[in-house]
Structure formats: structure tokens, C-alpha cells
Amino acid sequence: MKINLTRIFKLSSQNVILPAVMVWLAVGVLLQAQVVRQSLPNPNNEPRAVFPVPTERQMLWQEVEFYAFFHYGMNTFTGKEWGFGDEVGTIFAPTSLPDCRQWVQTAKKAGMKGGLAIVKHHDGFCLWPTESTTHNVMRSANLGPQVNIPRDFAKASKAEGMKYGFYISPWDRNSALYGTDRYVTDVFLKQVSEVSKYGNGDQFEIWFDGANGGDGYYGGQRGTRQINEKIYYDMPNLVDSIHKLQPNCVVWGDKGWSEARWIGNEQGWAGVTNWASADRDDLTRNALTNGQENGWAWIPGEADAKATDSGWFWHRGETPYSLDKLYKMYLETVGRNATLILNLPPNQQGGLPPATVTRMEELGNLLKNRLGNDLAKQATVMASEERTAGQNRTYVASHLTDDNKDTYWATNDATINGASVTLKWDTPVNAHYVMLQEFVRKGQRVKRFTIETSPDGNMWTKRATDITTTIGHKRIVPLNGSTDVYGPGYNVKAIRITFDDSRACPLLHTISVY
């Protein structure tokens, strides 16, 4: 039968047919949507994603967690932090070749998994024999012309099984062309592509600093050059080209196009609440530090901080920060769903000074001692609810301690608040930290949780209640609530974590106790 809608609508003005038809249509649409949803094949009963979600390269990047920054270059020899661009090449006069292997080994000893080397800072001096400018190592003195940081750093990193990346300053205070289109195509892009040739296309991050003070040498013209930072470097296309050359390379920047965001300070801390999502086009200071629960893009935070007290570059008389301060940085960045890029400045001999090396060894040992022995491995893990298994996937609580980040515990869709996981030990253990990791491939979900400890399995005490908000890739909660004081820890027979509120059913792949 053909329904004549026009006729029905005409009639309806005098009676109830119109509302009835509208209700009928609406119910039909809803039912259809429901049928479509239910009939989508989901044999494994997988939870639906909560968007935004990370890209594959962001997933790989996030796992690097803790890595080094190596500020070495012209400033190492002038003692400046920002060279003006008028430094003659011969000032760069290393008497020994930079020992990239020692840099990387030191980072490794600190527990880092990679590093980024500065290959060109704002002064424009390139640390490899580039064709893009004469202001490069070929015009330097002593062993300078043999220096090639991108080549040697990539090689050393590979030899040590570490990730590598580069920092190439877009702002160039030396180039006469800076401010023109030719600078972008013939100088800057060329430099990025030259550097991309080193290391077989597996660079994990490239850093494009946003600093631009305006003034500089600019090929002898000295003065101020203004650019429109949003469009000058044609970043969207540059990012695209980088991905073609380096598929796993996350492009860092403090502008909307970046794949990882600045955390908003250079002191080495992220917000207690820290979402990996944020609105690309509205990165206020709060959004940088805390992310935004309903932000539309996945842009996880990276915290850049110095390990020494005198600057990003090496300076005479510099001292490494105390072990306590560095450890606190780690807890407040890696332990708060951000990554930590910690700066280690090589000196004029091209090596990291002994004091820096020693401090990094101490840091590595401390991290191993305090966060290296996972007590959850000896615990029995139970959950208040386990999501109904699918054909080839289960969501049982034991996935939380199986050392596999691809398996996870989950609840059923309806349980977005109140589910809990309990870890129990036969004999009491001494616990200082709980470490939690969400299965972020399906989005960052948990908004608030509670940790309780029990000395006997009956009496429960809430711990660190002020800071148990978001989780994300990794959250390390000191049970005493402090990132300053390690304390004696708590003797516990059980720990219970309740997921009080989530954007959708919670999914966690790991819980550890230290």
C-alpha cells in the first residue's frame, strides 16, 4: 500500500493524526538505528571507542615515555642560550668529536628509552654538512667539519636500541632569507628532508620549536622579521611529508597542527588531571597542562625540562639537579599521563660531564628500586564485574597483571561508575605506589577513581584522595599522596581500586603495585 503523506498531513490539522504519524516515524528511525547497531558484527563483544583515539604512531610514541634532549651546538662554545646568528663558523671548534654513543648510553642508564638531538638551534648553525646554508659545520674549526650529529646520533641510538629524533629550529636568525617564502622551501624544508635521510626512516619524534623573538643577524641585514606563525611554514604539508619519510615520527610543536602538545611549563610537571584529548584550536594554558575531557583531538602532553641548573646548553659551573627533584619530575610527568623529555647538555669536549652521568645513573637506579619490582604479580586479582567474553576475547581481571598491553579488563557497557578491582596478597606487602594504565586505543575514559588499602582484607582506608582523577596511558599514584616524600609505605594485604566515574565503561590493561 502506498501512503499518501500529503493527504495525511492535510487531515491531521483537524485531528491527532499528525502527532501520531510523527511519533510513529520517530520510533521507526530509532528502532532502525538500534537494529543497525545491534547487527554490526561484534563477535568479540568489544567495547566501542570513546573518541578521540590515538593514531598508531602516537601509541608508539607514548610508550617511549622518558627520553633525553641533547642541546649541543654553537651555543656550547659561546656560552649563550640563544645565539644571534652572527657567530662565525670557526667559533664552533671541537677538539674532540661529540660522543653521541656516550650521550645515548647515559640516557639509557637513567632508564630512558630514547632521545632528541638538537641539529640546528635558533642561531641557524647546522650540525651536519647541509646544502641549505653555508652556516654549517663545514665552516667550523678543529674537528668541526667532521661533525655530523644527525648521522652519528641516529647510529648511536640504533646501536644502543634507543629511539632517536631531532630538533630543527624553524626560526633561523642567521638566514638572509628568513621571512620570505624561499626560506621555507629552499632552507627549512631542505634541512628537514636532509636530516630525514639519517637512520632509515624510523625517527620517533621531530621537534619544531615555536620560539621567535623577531630579531637576528639575517645575513648581515640585522633587524626584526615578523612572520605569521600560523601559516608561514606551511606546517600541514610539512607534517604530511614527514610522515611519508618517517611513518612513525610524531611531530611536536606548540601550535594546533602538532601531534603531541607542550605541557605548558618547562619545570617538569603535568596537571594532576591530564587528558590526552584537547581542542587543537583552543590550546589555553589550562588545556596544555590538563588536556580537556571533551577535547576533539588526541594530542598527548610532553613535558620538557632541564636536568641541570644553568640552561638548555652547557655552561661552565653548571650542576645537575638533585636526585629528589628529578625523581619528582618523573612522577609528575610520566606518572601523570605525559612524557618527559629531560635535557642533558654535552660540553665543549662533546661529552656529558661526569656529574651529569653520575646523576643519571643514580636516577636509573632509583627508578629501578622504587618502580621496578611489581608486587601485583604476586597478588590475586579480582573484579566486581568482568565484561561478557566474546568469541576470541575475554575481559577478565587477570589481564591486568599478565604483562600484555593488548589484553585488558573491562566492564559491560552499562557500568560506567562503581566497578572495582581488588588485589590480595597471602602475606602483607609493603606498598608505596599504584600504577594504572588504560587501554587508550579505545579512548581515555576514567574521570575519577578511589584507591583503598587494607592491612587485613577487612578494614579499608582511602589513599591520596585529592589526586585520583584521570589515568590515560600511565598513572602512578603515590599512596601517601606525595611526590616529595617517599615515606615508609603501607603494609597491606589488599588494595581496592574503584572506578567512580568514566566517560564509558573503564578499560585497563595494567595495574602494578610498587
What residues make contact with ligand FUL under the rule CB under 6 A?
A: 81, 209, 211, 304, 312
Q: Pick from 77, 55, 10, 50: which is nearest to 506 by CA? A: 50
Q: How many other β-carbons are positioned within 10 Å of the β-carbon of residue 125?
A: 29
Q: Pick from 237, 244, 229, 254: which is nearest to 57 by CA? A: 244
- Minimal CB distance residue for ligand FUL: 211
Task: Please identify, using beta-carbon distances, which residue of 313 and 409 lies nearer to ligand FUL.
Answer: 313
Smallest distance, Å, CB 88 to ligand FUL? 21
C-alpha span between 138 and 130 (Å, rounded): 9
Smallest distance, Å, CB 48 to ligand FUL? 39
Task: Please identify, using beta-carbon distances, which residue of 306 and 474 lies nearer to ligand FUL.
Answer: 306
Counted residue by residue, the chain has a size of: 514
Q: Which run of H or of E encompasses 492?
A: strand 490-502
Task: Please identify, using beta-carbon distances, which residue of 208 and 327 lies nearer to ligand FUL.
Answer: 208
How far from chain centre, in Å, is Cα 77?
A: 32
Smallest distance, Å, CB 214 to ligand FUL? 13
Residues sharing a CB contact under 8 Å with residue 39, sequence separation 6 or more, in sequence order: none
Smallest distance, Å, CB 304 to ligand FUL? 5
Mode of pairing for the β-strands spanning 215-216 and 223-224: antiparallel
Q: How many other β-carbons are positioned within 10 Å of the β-carbon of residue 34?
A: 10
Task: Give the DSSP per-residue string, 3-72.
Answer: --HHHHHHHHTTSSHHHHHHHHHHHHHHHHHHHHHHHS--TT-PPPP-S----HHHHHHHHH-EEEEE--
Task: Please identify, using beta-carbon distances, which residue of 265 and 417 lies nearer to ligand FUL.
Answer: 265
Task: Please identify, using beta-carbon distances, which residue of 312 and 439 lies nearer to ligand FUL.
Answer: 312
Smallest distance, Å, CB 267 to ligand FUL? 13
- Preceding omega of 506 cis (within 30 degrees of 0): no
Task: Please identify, using beta-carbon distances, which residue of 82 and 499 lies nearer to ligand FUL.
Answer: 82
Task: Please identify, using beta-carbon distances, which residue of 211 and 323 lies nearer to ligand FUL.
Answer: 211
Smallest distance, Å, CB 76 to ligand FUL? 13
Smallest distance, Å, CB 56 to ligand FUL? 27
Smallest distance, Å, CB 458 to ligand FUL? 51
Smallest distance, Å, CB 312 to ligand FUL? 4
Residues sharing a CB contact under 8 Å with residue 387, sequence separation 6 or more, in sequence order: 45, 47, 395, 409, 410, 411, 412, 505
Task: Give the DSSP per-residue string, 338-395.
Answer: EEEEEE----TTSS--HHHHHHHHHHHHHHHHHHSS-GGGGSEEEES--BPP-SS--B
Task: Please identify, using beta-carbon distances, which residue of 94 and 170 lies nearer to ligand FUL.
Answer: 170
Task: Please identify, using beta-carbon distances, which residue of 301 and 443 lies nearer to ligand FUL.
Answer: 301
